[in-house]
Amino acid sequence: MLKVAVVGTGFIGSVHAKNLACHPGAELVAVNDVNLESAERIAATTGARVVANVTEIFDSKDVEAVLIATPTDTHVDYLECAAQAGKAIYCEKPIGLYYQEAEQAVSVVQATGVPVMLGFNRRFDASHVAVKQAIDQGEVGKIEIVQLTNRGPRPPSIEYIKVSGGQMRDQTIHFFDLLRWLTNDEPVQVYAIGAALVNAAIGEAGDVDTSIVSLQMASGALCQIDSSRRAAYGYDERIEIFGSDGLVESRRQNFRGMSVYKGRKIIEDGLHPNWFERIEQSYYQALDAFVGAVTQGIAPSPSLEDGLKAQLLADQATDSLKTGRPVRVTK
Amino acid sequence: MLKVAVVGTGFIGSVHAKNLACHPGAELVAVNDVNLESAERIAATTGARVVANVTEIFDSKDVEAVLIATPTDTHVDYLECAAQAGKAIYCEKPIGLYYQEAEQAVSVVQATGVPVMLGFNRRFDASHVAVKQAIDQGEVGKIEIVQLTNRGPRPPSIEYIKVSGGQMRDQTIHFFDLLRWLTNDEPVQVYAIGAALVNAAIGEAGDVDTSIVSLQMASGALCQIDSSRRAAYGYDERIEIFGSDGLVESRRQNFRGMSVYKGRKIIEDGLHPNWFERIEQSYYQALDAFVGAVTQGIAPSPSLEDGLKAQLLADQATDSLKTGRPVRVTK
Amino acid sequence: MLKVAVVGTGFIGSVHAKNLACHPGAELVAVNDVNLESAERIAATTGARVVANVTEIFDSKDVEAVLIATPTDTHVDYLECAAQAGKAIYCEKPIGLYYQEAEQAVSVVQATGVPVMLGFNRRFDASHVAVKQAIDQGEVGKIEIVQLTNRGPRPPSIEYIKVSGGQMRDQTIHFFDLLRWLTNDEPVQVYAIGAALVNAAIGEAGDVDTSIVSLQMASGALCQIDSSRRAAYGYDERIEIFGSDGLVESRRQNFRGMSVYKGRKIIEDGLHPNWFERIEQSYYQALDAFVGAVTQGIAPSPSLEDGLKAQLLADQATDSLKTGRPVRVTK
Amino acid sequence: MLKVAVVGTGFIGSVHAKNLACHPGAELVAVNDVNLESAERIAATTGARVVANVTEIFDSKDVEAVLIATPTDTHVDYLECAAQAGKAIYCEKPIGLYYQEAEQAVSVVQATGVPVMLGFNRRFDASHVAVKQAIDQGEVGKIEIVQLTNRGPRPPSIEYIKVSGGQMRDQTIHFFDLLRWLTNDEPVQVYAIGAALVNAAIGEAGDVDTSIVSLQMASGALCQIDSSRRAAYGYDERIEIFGSDGLVESRRQNFRGMSVYKGRKIIEDGLHPNWFERIEQSYYQALDAFVGAVTQGIAPSPSLEDGLKAQLLADQATDSLKTGRPVRVTK
């Protein structure tokens, strides 16, 4: 049983805490949040102890692993503290607000040798995993076109937008990671177009809410990623990989299997209303992979390196958005 | 070029006439109908000559084949005339109104040795053909359950119902034929339940408009056929064959490929509005098979024997409907 | 928090115990099984106490509700004991092996006035619930044809078959219940055909493994239920309700959303491998309904009466299977 | 009856000739081709006369409309001749090899005032038309993201590639036209990436076989078009329009409705093997619109202006491909 503490019990931290409480190979021993009540609520239903001061978490002898689910601006600090305390780490993405602070934190953490996994949970979605397996088994041959879609369902608050780093760093980053993971390939050039079509205030805040990114991969493959902060029909996330021998896709998924046939129409119950319902299971699967890797002494994946690479792409896509020009991907 | 005359230029006769006019291996030489205007309309667009008296068709030297698309009560007479005149025959189903007259006509026709094909056109639907191929290639193993559905879209007039012989003989008969063809097997017992749920007048006319037939096959396989004269969502025809190794189906088909995603719903353009749009292509394919068989000297299929067998099943299902008891299938 | 004891910690009992342990409105206080180890395993992960002697469960002051998940031959006894002890009861189906003992138990239990729910969990499947709502909202008009399908994936052991009461009582019974629930209607006549097509030993044991049941409802609607103990493609459960204004269905569901397009084929990941994966969620939902009803003082549904009615249909379908004749549904 | 002559009886010219021969409002009076045998084959099955010298077509009194289906390098010449002879014109796309010659021809033709329709037949595909109607009825609100896909099935010969003007002008041009038509909007900037991934010889010929085009529309909407000369699973053409109120799509379409369920897979018969089978019907519908417009004295659509605009986009996308830079769309 891996003894885990959760730092940050907001929405995602709570999800992780409950998953840890149910996991047969893990024990949730402690929870911490600046909002004490939030931590206490989680403690009440899971039996974990509340730790008021985060440094105590890092000092606790019985904590073997720390799950960091606090706001992004604390990540680099907590990553370094946890690593220096010798804890295994599961850290929500991104590593940090800025590439340079992230890169520096990574070098500090890597020096300690502790196992770290970055929370790109979409890599653990059952259908996405099946796509990856199909690719790796050569089902589609040499990859030629990648199409990634992620839309909606609703834009976050303007307050959130302002500190989010922008759509590329906050939303599209998951798909930069999926792209690298699925293709076993690296982008060499990125071009992005975008606009604030959903909410003009997002544009006034210097961000976009609707965007298309075109990428060229080292192998010559082409990729397009379209992102929207709003979809009027639920949460729409899809993967399509087109190769020399065929196509593999992770389709849109209905939230239940009911259809009505009437007049000249077929009316199905549609997509999941929120992104969380669509990918909820992947959080448990990601945690399961982390617990398995740490207890077996294997390096967890996705790594901090993966986190840096996705973050670099997000930065360079943001540059392209701002300058209107294609950007070569270089560190 | 097979020289064909069409007798009966009502709806289906017109379809056949146009298909013959377009077929590269056939020539539509003559058309006849008791409604002279109807025949003239077809003649005008196809270049065929109008023959006012049907006996002239059978006497015409340049007519090699006769397509019989007249009302059912004339079939046995025209079958015999055409056969005795040595013409190849394509005859719309059923062979006759009553099993005995049909059986007698078949023996007369068979004595002449002319090639005859019965118009069970659904055997030529591209998707149904694909199901048959999958079964014959062993894809589903030993057949265990057969589910056939045919519904709607609208009941015919009460006048038609009264002379139709009833739902089993008029509508379900196509599926008795499909059942035998798909399974390479024969029903040994039939049980039918039904009611006039769509229109009470159909019940008053001694018929049903909604029915379920259960059949046991010689192999032990079980079959259910549901038929309705009305479907509020277009024309719904499906085949499902469940076997020891898997399942094969001919699915419901949309009339076009448009979907709208809105709110919590996905709204697709639905089924074909009428049975004809759904199976239109099969009329051409059936004719093509007939022309091919006759010109190559091969016996056409489905045969008169197939017609008799389906008709017998329709009669015995009608018996079951009336008596409320299962009926052993015996001649 | 409703304090619940689980009697019987076999497969389904364990599922219920884990669901209770996670349910925010319930507390799993005690578990019992003739196999002590099985009960101890559940206790270890849930914190419930193990009660070695089942009568202690009924005597326990802190047990407010009893969940009966033992073999069928103990149900009537435990139902009576729990009821006489004043406990709320959730009982797995069927009420008893024979209709008469079931009926007698029901009268004993009903006399005590305790709330009882029968474990027809399929009524709580999200897609089936959506079908029920569509019907109740009048989406399909007057019901005319009901098609229920349940197949596979694998037959149980011959030992199980021998004590199961037969396919109607063991498997199809869920669909007799769904039929009544969905249609708000009662069957008046039942006819069943069946055979041992999957395993001859099932036939030698006096049972069938493949069957079709045809039913006529009081409203005139027609119903067909096809059941198979084996499906070579996973677990296939479907509902289709055809009415005067349209059709509503609970479709087959894929276990994940991956497709490969290659050559002339589209290859999707298919159905759930087992019935449990397909309807797992409905167990939690059923329990949730029970906990909600008991804590709010509402009569739980489905009731014992529902259990008796489904059991009667299973008995009469079994009669029809044996006699080869349609059976009027009368108590 | 509109009297039409077809100039050019290669593959597409033959399709048009047969469609005209079947059209109730048109009469195919004459055919011409540099390959006399090809013209004679069409004449034999349609009853049209063969005209050996193309100028005779323009001089023929009984020819009211000319359908130009010759190689692209003859289009501008024939357009001008036909217009000056006062014929109505249906011209296959593109207007000419180069934008300037096309523009000049358009001004000559427009001066004559003859009705002209450009052969962007995809505008007449039933599913695409349904998408257009949904957009125009406001089903998806304000358009935000457009995704157009066209792939395969097989690259043309290198000889054809060399004279085709490149993938943008030869293949993607249809989708530039669909984009303008569907959105009622104009692109203001275009960026294209591409590579010769299917066949290196295509790259050596200075062309690409796989490409992604990103466009910004005047309204702010974003668009991506992906094109491939090869798809290992048939012909894949799709439209997806994402707007403020929902999404509408013209889906991939299967060539028939057969599925097999086996093991853990569902195997469907897939896409049409060729582009022609997929959009065959749209050729007839396009011709029908032309015949209808000309006989009713309405201006046919799509117009020469539409042809010029699509051609300009193809030119500027080709520029972007070559320079690696986004290009402002200006005349």
Task: Give pLDDT tens digits for D248-274.
Answer: 999 999 999 999 999 999 999 999 999
> Among B266, B269, B271, whose Cβ lies nearest the Cβ of A268?
B266
Task: Give pLDDT tens digits for B56-102.
Answer: 999 999 999 999 999 999 999 999 999 999 999 999 999 998 899 99
Give the Cα separation of A108 and A100 in Å (integer): 13
Q: Does C297 touch chain A (CB under 8 A)?
A: no
Q: What is the pLDDT of residue A85?
A: 97
Dump the DSSP string for D218-267. Answer: TTS-EEEEEEES--TTS-EEEEEEEETTEEEEE---BSS-EEEEETTEEE
Instruction: Supply the ipTM of this predicted assembly.
Output: 0.95
Residues 188-217 of D with CB under 8 A from A: 189, 191, 193-195, 197-198, 210-212, 214, 216
Mean pLDDT on A179-196: 98
Under the banding of pLDDT at 50, 70 and 90, the label for residue A97 is confident
Under the banding of pLDDT at 50, 70 and 90, the label for residue A331 is confident
Give the Cα separation of A319 and D117 in Å (integer): 44
Residue C179 has pLDDT above 90, yes or no: yes
Residue D192 has pLDDT above 80, yes or no: yes
| A191/D193 touch (CB, cutoff 8 Å), yes or no | yes
Pairing of strands A187-195, A210-217: antiparallel
C-alpha C172: how far from chain center: 9
Residue B47 has pLDDT above 90, yes or no: no
Task: Give pLDDT tens digits for B164-180.
Answer: 899 999 999 999 999 99
Tell me the chain D residues in contact with residue B19 when contact means C-beta distances shorter than 8 Å: none
> Among C261, C264, C268, whose Cβ lies nearest the Cβ of D265?
C268
Mean pLDDT on D189-215: 98
HSE-up (13 A, CA, CB side) for residue C260: 23
A195 burial (CB, 10 Å; 0-12 / 13-18 / 19+) is buried
Q: How far does C325 lie from chain A, in Å, by closest CA?
A: 35
Mean pLDDT on D233-248: 98
Q: What is the pLDDT of residue D45?
A: 77
Mean pLDDT on A279-295: 97
**Secondary structure letter of residue A207 according to DSSP:** -
Q: Do C248 and C131 touch, CB atoms closer than 8 A?
A: yes
Task: Give pLDDT tens digits for B123-152.
Answer: 999 999 999 999 999 999 999 999 999 999
| C258/A246 touch (CB, cutoff 8 Å), yes or no | no
Q: What is the pLDDT of residue D82?
A: 98
Residue A264 has pLDDT above 80, yes or no: yes
> What residue in C sits closest to B320 (Cα-Cα)?
C326
Q: How far does D98 lie from chain B, in Å, by closest CA?
A: 35
Give the Cα separation of A169 and A94 in Å (integer): 8
Check the CA dihedral B154-B159-B162-B164 and report its sign: negative
Dump the DSSP string for A58-103. Answer: HH-TT--EEEE-S-GGGHHHHHHHHHHTT-EEEE-S-S-SSHHHHH
Q: What is the pLDDT of residue C24?
A: 81
Q: Does B232 touch chain A (CB under 8 A)?
A: yes
Tell me the chain C residues in contact with residue A249 when contact means C-beta distances shorter than 8 Å: 258-259, 261
A154, A230, A259, A264: best to mutate for the B interface, most B CBs within 10 A: A264
Tell me the chain B residues in contact with residue A262 when contact means C-beta distances shorter than 8 Å: 232-233
Q: What is the pLDDT of residue B44?
A: 83
| B264/A232 touch (CB, cutoff 8 Å), yes or no | no
Q: What is the pLDDT of residue A213?
A: 98
A137, A253, A259: best to mutate for the C interface, most C CBs within 10 A: A259
Q: What is the pLDDT of residue D195?
A: 98
| C256/A24 touch (CB, cutoff 8 Å), yes or no | no
Chain-wide mean pLDDT for chain D?
Answer: 96
Q: What tokens does A253 get? A: 């998924």
| C222/B226 touch (CB, cutoff 8 Å), yes or no | yes
> Among C194, C212, C247, whose Cβ lies nearest the Cβ of B233?
C247
| D266/C263 touch (CB, cutoff 8 Å), yes or no | no
Residues 236-255 of C with CB under 8 A from B: 236, 242-247
Q: Does C127 touch chain B (CB under 8 A)?
A: no
Q: Do C140 and C246 touch, CB atoms closer than 8 A?
A: yes
Under the banding of pLDDT at 50, 70 and 90, the label for residue A47 is confident
Size of interface A-C (CB pairs under 8 A): 79
Q: What is the pLDDT of residue A240?
A: 98
> What residue in B sits closest to D47 (Cα-Cα)?
B47
Tell me the chain D residues in contact with residue A145 when contact means C-beta distances shorter than 8 Å: 151, 210, 212, 226, 228
Mean pLDDT on B204-226: 98
Beta-carbon contacts of residue B177 (< 8 Å; ≥ 6 apart): B93, B120, B122, B123, B302, B306, B307, B309, B310
Of C222, C182, C179, C170, nearest to C326 (Cα)? C222
| A222/D141 touch (CB, cutoff 8 Å), yes or no | no
Q: How far does C93 lie from chain A, in Å, by closest CA?
A: 25
| D268/C263 touch (CB, cutoff 8 Å), yes or no | no
Q: Side by side, which strands form the sheet with C88-91?
A: C49-50, C26-32, C2-7, C65-68, C88-91, C116-118
> Among B234, B236, B267, whose Cβ lies nearest the Cβ of A267?
B267
Tell me the chain C residues in contact with residue A260 when contact means C-beta distances shorter than 8 Å: 134, 139-140, 246-248
Residue C188 has pLDDT above 80, yes or no: yes
> Among C231, C245, C324, whose Cβ lies nearest the Cβ of B326?
C324
Neighbours of chain C (3+ CB pairs under 8 A): A, B, D
Could you report how far apart the first and last alpha carbons of chain C are, in Å?
40
Under the banding of pLDDT at 50, 70 and 90, the label for residue C331 is confident
C-alpha B51: how far from chain center: 27
Higher-scoring residue by pLDDT: D22, B194: B194
Peptide bond into A326 cis (omega under 30): no
| A267/B263 touch (CB, cutoff 8 Å), yes or no | no
Q: Do B22 and B51 touch, CB atoms closer than 8 A?
A: no
Phi, psi values for residue B103, rounded to 5°:
-60, -40
Q: What is the pLDDT of residue B331?
A: 77
Give the Cα separation of A169 and A174 in Å (integer): 9
Q: Does A234 touch chain B (CB under 8 A)?
A: yes
Q: Do D327 and D191 touch, CB atoms closer than 8 A?
A: yes
H/E element, B180: helix B173-183
| C266/D270 touch (CB, cutoff 8 Å), yes or no | yes
**Secondary structure letter of residue B324 according to DSSP:** S
Bridge partners of A49? A30
| C191/B195 touch (CB, cutoff 8 Å), yes or no | no
Mean pLDDT on B265-269: 97
Beta-carbon contacts of residue D112 (< 8 Å; ≥ 6 apart): D83, D84, D86
Q: How far does D74 lie from chain A, in Å, by closest CA?
A: 35
Higher-scoring residue by pLDDT: D168, B98: D168
Q: Does D281 touch chain B (CB under 8 A)?
A: no
> Among C232, C255, C267, whose Cβ lies nearest the Cβ of D267?
C267
| Cα–Cα separations (whole angstroms), residue D253 to B240, B267, D85, D133 | 21, 16, 42, 19
